């Protein structure tokens, strides 16, 4: 085997090693991104659960409006009985 073949094999081995290292780094980075994405998803779900009662504010406001309207009607009725 000539020196050229040995140099070729060494260069090929170095290139393969570099590709393997780069692939391992990419896999490690992808795993880290997946872990962060799962943490973000968990935080978003927690935020959704914690803010769910805010969607009921409109219902509460409607109920308060009905109660105050009813109380106003009762007050007017009582005032008309006292005055009349």
Average pLDDT of span 52-67: 92
Locate all alpha helices (DSSP H) within the chain, ordered by sequence: 3-51, 57-83
pLDDT at position 81:
85
Residue linked to tokens 């009921």: 56
Alpha carbon of 54 to those of 37, 45, 47, 49: distances in Å?
26, 15, 11, 10
How many structural domains is the chain composed of? Answer: 1
Let me know the angle formed at the C-alpha of 69 by 67 and 74, rounded to the nearest 5 degrees.
95
Is pTM, for the whole model, over 0.85?
no
pLDDT at position 83:
66
The residue segments making up the domain with residue 39 are 3-83
pLDDT by residue (tens digit) across 12-55?
999 999 999 999 999 999 999 999 999 999 999 999 999 988 88
Average pLDDT of span 55-78: 92
């Amino acid at each position: 085997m000539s020196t050229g073949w040995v140099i070729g094999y060494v260069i090929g081995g170095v290139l393969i090693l570099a590709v393997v290292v780069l692939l391992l780094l990419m896999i490690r980075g992808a795993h880290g991104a997946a872990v962060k994405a799962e943490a973000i998803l968990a935080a978003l779900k927690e935020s959704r659960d914690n803010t769910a009662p805010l969607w009921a504010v409109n219902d509460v406001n409607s109920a308060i409006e009905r109660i105050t309207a009813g109380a106003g009607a009762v007050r007017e009725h009582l005032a008309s009985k006292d005055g009349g």
